[in-house]
C-alpha cells in the first residue's frame, strides 16, 4: 500500500498524464480557469477523504448492514459522515458547470478521484455515484423547475437519487415492465407498481430520495416504445422548494446481499394507496432513451468500481506476498536455510502479475472511457466529439463487463495468494471478493452486454464505429512499430484484431439469417472482443513506458524505471499469455458452434 492508498497514486498519475493527456484539457475553453495544480489538489483531496471517511467503515459496514424496522432504515453513523464529506467535497457536483453550482472539473479527474474512494469503500461510495448520475439525467432532460426542485438538492447532498428500472416479474427485460402512470389534471402523474433491486432505494442519509422511475403511461404502445421516465420523490416538494408530505412510495423490504452491504438494495412499492406522485421527464414514451444515459454512465461507473476493487485486492496480496515468509524454492532442499518471502515463489508471482494485468488494465480502460466521455462533451469540433462518442458507445459493453468479470478473477487470485488468511475475515480480500461479485450482475449481465455488443453495437452505423476502433488499434500498433521493447507484442495483437474482424464479418450474415442461433455465442464474442481491447490498452501503456525508458537515463529515476519495466512486463503477460486464449473462442464463433444452443431442456 502506497501511503495508505489502495490505489498507487504514481500509477493513477501515469494514466492521467502519460497514458492519457489530461493536461491538454486545460487548453479547452471550459477548463481555462483550471490548472494541473487544481487537478492534483482534487486527487489529493480524494485520497484523504478515501482514507479518513470511506476506508474506515469498509469492514464495519459489511458486518453491520442497514436494517429496516418497518418504519425507517438504520445504518452505521460512518456512512452518514462519508455522505456528508462527499457532498462537502463536491462529489455530486464537481463535474457540473460553475454557473450551475459545480466545480466544472473534467470527467476524467472526477473519475480518477472517485476511483480512490471506490477502492476504499465501494459500497459506501455508491450513494454519491448513483445520486450524481440521477442528477445528470435531470440536468439533461428535466425542466427548469425539475432542476430547481430536484437537481440542486442532489448536487449539494440534501437529496439522494436512485434508478428504478427492474420489476419482480421481468428483471432485465424492460419491455415487460408493468408500472403504470396516469395523468392528473395538474399535469403530474400517479405511479403504481413495484420495483426490485433498487440500489439505495431507501436510507436515512438524506431528507429526500429522488427516484428516476420507468413506467408506462396508460394507453402507451406496448414494449420499450411505451416507456416513459418519471421523477418520483420520496417526499413531495412544495412550490417554494420546501419539503411537503410523504409521497406514496413505500419500502417493502431490504434485500440481504452477499456483499456490497453498506449499500441498501430494496423492494419499493409505488402507489399502493393513493398513487405515487410522479413528474414526467421530457417527452412521453422516450423514457428508455433518456434512461440509457444514466445506464451507460453507471456502466462505466461499474467498470471503474470493479477496477478499483480488483486493484485494491492486488495491492493487499502484493503487500502480503512481500512480507510473508514461507518455504523455499524448489532448487533448495536445505531446511536449515531461511524461508523466502512468498513473492519469490513463481506461482505467487504469476498470481500477482495476473492481478496487475487485470487491475491496471481495467483501470486504464475505464479512465480511457472517461476521457472519451470528456472528449464527446468538450472537444471543439463536432466531428471529433462524435468520434469520441462513437468509440465510447461501442466500448461501453467492454468497459462495464471486462473489469467486472475479470475483477472477480483478480480478487479470487488475491485470496489465493493469502491462502488460509485470504479466506478469513481478518483480512479484507474475502470482502473484496464478495463485493466484486455484484459487478457482473448489475447494470446488465455479461450475457446482456454480449448481445448488446454483437447484436447491436458492432453493426451500428453500418459498422462504422467498429471500423473506427479497429483503425485506432492499428494506429497504435504503428505507433509502437519502431520500439524494440514492444515489437514482439505487435503480431499477437494484429492476429487477434484480424480474428475479431473476420469473426465479426462472418457473424453478420448469420445473425441476419437466424438471430437466435447467430447470437447464441455472444458472450464469447464479448470476451474475445474485450481481450483485444484490453490488449490494446496494455500495448499503449507499454509504448509509453518504452518511450520513457529509452529517454536519457538521468531523467528516469530507478523507481520510475522499475515502474515502467513493470508496465512492459505486464503488457507482455497480458498480450502473450492471456490474449491468445481467445483464438479458441474465435474458432467457436467462426464455426457457429451450437453445442450449447442444441442442448435440449430435457437433456439436463
CB atoms within 10 A of CB 483: 17
- Using CB under 8 A, which of 463, 588, 590, 592 touches a copy of itself? 588
Given the rule CB under 8 A, which of 98-106, 125-133, 270-278, 593-601 is the region that contacts a copy of itself? Answer: 593-601
Give the range of 365-373, 432-440, 459-467, 500-508 binding a copy of itself by CB under 8 A. 432-440
- Give the Cα separation of 107 and 109 in Å (integer): 5
Tell me the window of 203-211, 300-308, 377-385, 576-584 that interacts with a copy of itself (CB under 8 A).
576-584
Q: How far is the CB of 140 from a copy of itself (least distance, A)?
A: 27
**What's the CA gap between 134 and 485, in Å, rounded?**
45
Of 246, 322, 461, 502, which lies in the binding site for a copy of itself, with binding defined by CB under 8 A?
322
Marked catalytic residue, from 430, 443, 578, 585: 443
Can you give 441-454 as a three-state secondary structure string?
CCCCCHHHHHHHHH
For residue 247, give the nearest of 281, 211, 283, 280 by alpha carbon.
211
In the annotation, is 23 catalytic?
no
Query: Which residues 6+ apart lie within 8 Å of 575 measured at CB?
Result: 489, 492, 493, 535, 538, 539
Q: Which one of 114-122, 133-141, 388-396, 444-452 is the stretch in contact with a copy of itself (CB under 8 A)? A: 444-452
Residues 263-282 that bind a copy of itself (CB under 8 A): 265
- Could you tell me the smallest distance in angstroms from the CB atom of residue 572 to a copy of itself? 5
Return the number of the residue (12 or 372) whose C-beta is nearest a copy of itself: 12
CB of 328 to a copy of itself, least distance (A): 8
| Concatenated DSSP letters of 97-138 | -GGGTS----HHHHHHHHHHHHHH-HHHHHHHHHHHHHHHHH
Which of residues 67, 339, 491, 494 is near a copy of itself by CB under 8 A?
A: 339
Collapsing DSSP to helix, strand or coil, 3 comes out as coil
Please name the helix (run of DSSP H) or strand (run of DSSP E) that holds residue 583, with its range, or none.
helix 582-590
Of 5, 262, 465, 520, which one interacts with a copy of itself (CB under 8 A)? 520
Quick check: 522 binds a copy of itself (CB under 8 A)? yes
Q: Supply angle C-alpha 473, 478, 484, rounded to 5.
A: 120
- Residue 147, Cβ density class (10 Å: 0-12 exposed, 13-18 middle, ≥19 buried): middle
Q: Is residue 349 close enough to count as binding a copy of itself by CB under 8 A?
A: yes
Site size for a copy of itself (CB under 8 A)? 107
Of 213, 458, 493, 519, the residue at the interface with a copy of itself (CB under 8 A) is 519
Q: What separation in angstroms does the CA of 403 have from each of 228, 261, 303, 397?
A: 31, 20, 5, 10
- Binding residues among 449-478 for a copy of itself as defined by CB under 8 A: 450-451, 455
- The least distance separating a copy of itself from the CB of residue 517, rounded to whole angstroms, comes to 8
CB 116 within 8 A of CB 47: yes
Asked whether the beta carbons of 236 and 245 are under 8 A apart, the reply is: yes
- DSSP class of residue 231? E
Query: Are 231 and 146 within 8 A, CB to CB?
Result: yes
Q: Provide the angle, in degrees to the nearest 10, between the axes of the packed helices 287-323 and 122-141.
A: 160
183's grid cell: 395523468
- From candidates 60, 434, 474, 547, binder to a copy of itself by CB under 8 A: 434
Check residue 353 for interaction with a copy of itself (CB under 8 A). yes
Minimum CB separation from a copy of itself for residue 416, in Å? 7
Report the alpha-carbon distance of residue 175 to residue 167 in Å, rounded.
11
Tally the residues of the chain. 604
Q: Which of 4, 101, 241, 327 binds a copy of itself (CB under 8 A)?
A: 327
Please tell me the distance from the alpha carbon of residue 324 to that of residue 550, in angstroms, as a whole number: 35
Q: Which residues, 169 to 208, sit near a copy of itself by CB under 8 A?
A: 169-173, 175-176, 196-197
The reply on whether position 3 binds a copy of itself by CB under 8 A is: no
Please tell me the distance from the alpha carbon of residue 386 to that of residue 375, in angstroms, as a whole number.
Answer: 9
When asked if residue 440 is in the footprint of a copy of itself (CB under 8 A), the reply is yes
| Residue whose C-alpha cell reads 461499474 in the numeric block | 302
Instruction: For the segment 218-247, give every residue that binds a copy of itself (CB under 8 A).
Output: 222-224
Within 533-562, which residues bind a copy of itself (CB under 8 A)? 562
Comparing CB distances to a copy of itself, the nearer of 481 and 596 is 596
Question: Of residues 386-425, which lie at the interface with a copy of itself (CB under 8 A)?
Answer: 408, 412, 415-416, 419-420, 422-425
Q: Is 69 in the site for a copy of itself (CB under 8 A)?
A: no
Give least dist CB 244 to a copy of itself, A.
33
Query: β-strand 159-164 against 73-74: which pairing, if any?
Result: unpaired
* Region binding a copy of itself by CB under 8 A among candidate stretches 48-56, 84-92, 102-110, 325-333: 325-333
Query: Could you list the active site residues?
Result: 443
Amino acid at each position: 500500500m502506497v501511503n495508505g492508498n489502495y490505489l498507487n497514486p504514481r500509477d493513477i498519475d501515469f494514466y492521467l498524464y502519460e497514458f492519457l493527456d489530461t493536461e491538454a484539457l486545460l487548453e479547452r475553453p471550459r477548463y481555462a480557469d483550471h490548472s494541473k495544480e487544481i487537478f492534483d489538489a482534487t486527487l489529493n483531496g480524494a485520497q484523504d477523504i478515501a482514507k479518513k471517511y470511506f476506508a474506515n467503515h469498509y469492514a464495519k459496514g459489511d458486518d453491520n448492514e442497514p436494517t429496516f424496522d418497518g418504519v425507517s432504515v438504520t445504518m452505521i453513523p460512518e456512512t452518514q459522515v462519508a455522505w456528508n464529506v462527499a457532498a462537502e467535497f463536491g462529489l455530486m457536483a464537481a463535474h457540473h458547470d460553475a454557473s450551475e453550482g459545480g466545480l466544472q472539473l473534467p470527467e476524467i479527474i472526477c473519475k480518477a478521484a472517485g476511483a480512490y474512494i471506490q477502492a476504499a469503500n465501494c459500497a459506501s461510495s455508491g450513494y454519491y455515484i448513483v445520486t450524481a448520475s440521477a442528477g445528470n439525467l435531470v440536468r439533461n432532460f428535466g425542466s427548469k423547475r425539475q432542476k430547481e426542485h430536484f437537481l440542486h438538492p442532489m448536487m449539494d447532498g440534501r437529496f439522494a437519487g436512485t434508478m428504478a428500472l427492474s420489476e419482480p416479474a421481468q428483471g432485465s427485460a424492460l419491455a415487460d415492465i408493468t408500472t403504470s402512470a396516469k395523468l392528473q389534471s395538474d399535469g403530474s402523474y400517479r405511479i403504481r407498481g413495484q420495483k426490485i433491486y433498487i440500489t439505495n432505494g431507501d436510507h436515512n442519509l438524506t431528507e429526500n430520495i429522488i427516484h428516476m422511475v420507468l413506467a408506462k403511461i396508460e394507453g402507451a404502445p406496448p414494449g420499450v416504445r411505451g416507456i416513459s421516465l418519471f421523477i418520483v420523490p420520496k417526499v413531495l416538494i412544495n412550490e417554494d422548494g420546501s419539503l411537503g408530505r410523504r409521497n406514496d412510495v413505500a419500502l417493502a423490504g431490504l434485500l440481504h446481499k452477499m456483499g456490497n452491504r453498506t449499500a441498501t438494495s430494496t423492494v419499493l412499492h409505488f402507489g399502493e394507496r393513493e398513487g405515487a406522485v410522479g413528474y414526467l421527464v421530457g417527452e412521453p414514451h422516450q423514457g428508455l432513451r433518456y434512461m440509457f444515459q444514466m445506464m451507460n454512465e453507471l456502466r462505466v461507473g461499474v467498470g471503474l468500481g470493479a477496477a478499483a476493487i480488483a486493484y485494491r485486492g492486488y495491492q493487499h496480496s502484493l503487500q502480503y506476498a512481500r512480507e510473508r515468509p514461507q518455504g523455499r524454492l524448489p532448487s533448495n532442499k536445505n531446511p536449515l536455510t531461511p524461508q523466502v518471502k512468498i513473492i519469490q515463489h513463481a506461482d505467487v508471482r504469476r498470481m500477482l502479475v495476473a492481478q496487475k494485468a487485470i487491475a491496471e488494465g481495467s483501470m486504464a480502460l475505464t479512465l480511457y472511457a472517461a476521457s472519451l466521455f470528456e472528449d464527446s462533451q468538450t472537444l471543439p469540433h463536432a466531428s471529433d466529439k462524435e468520434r469520441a462518442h462513437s468509440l465510447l458507445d461501442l466500448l461501453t459493453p467492454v468497459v462495464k463487463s471486462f473489469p467486472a468479470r475479470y475483477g472477480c478473477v483478480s480478487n479470487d487470485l488475491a485470496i489465493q495468494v493469502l491462502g488460509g488468511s485470504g479466506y478469513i475475515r481478518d483480512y479484507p480480500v474475502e470482502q473484496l471478493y464478495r463485493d466484486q461479485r455484484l459487478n457482473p450482475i448489475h447494470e446488465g449481465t455479461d450475457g446482456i452486454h454480449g448481445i448488446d455488443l454483437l447484436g447491436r453495437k458492432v453493426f451500428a452505423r453500418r459498422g462504422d464505429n467498429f471500423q473506427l476502433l479497429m483503425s485506432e488499434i492499428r494506429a497504435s500498433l504503428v505507433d509502437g512499430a519502431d520500439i524494440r521493447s514492444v515489437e514482439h507484442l505487435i503480431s499477437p495483437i494484429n492476429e487477434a484484431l484480424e480474428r475479431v474482424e473476420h469473426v465479426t464479418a462472418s457473424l453478420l450474415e448469420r445473425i441476419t439469417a437466424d438471430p437466435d442461433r447467430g447470437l447464441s455465442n455472444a458472450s464469447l464474442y464479448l470476451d474475445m472482443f474485450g481481450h483485444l481491447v484490453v490488449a490494446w490498452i496494455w500495448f499503449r501503456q507499454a509504448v509509453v513506458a518504452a518511450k520513457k525508458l529509452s529517454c536519457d537515463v538521468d531523467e528516469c529515476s530507478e523507481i520510475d524505471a522499475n515502474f515502467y519495466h513493470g508496465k512492459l512486463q505486464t503488457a507482455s503477460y497480458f498480450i502473450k499469455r492471456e490474449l491468445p486464449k481467445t483464438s479458441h473462442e474465435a474458432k467457436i464463433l467462426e464455426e457457429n458452434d451450437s453445442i450449447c444452443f442444441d442442448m435440449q431442456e430435457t437433456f439436463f
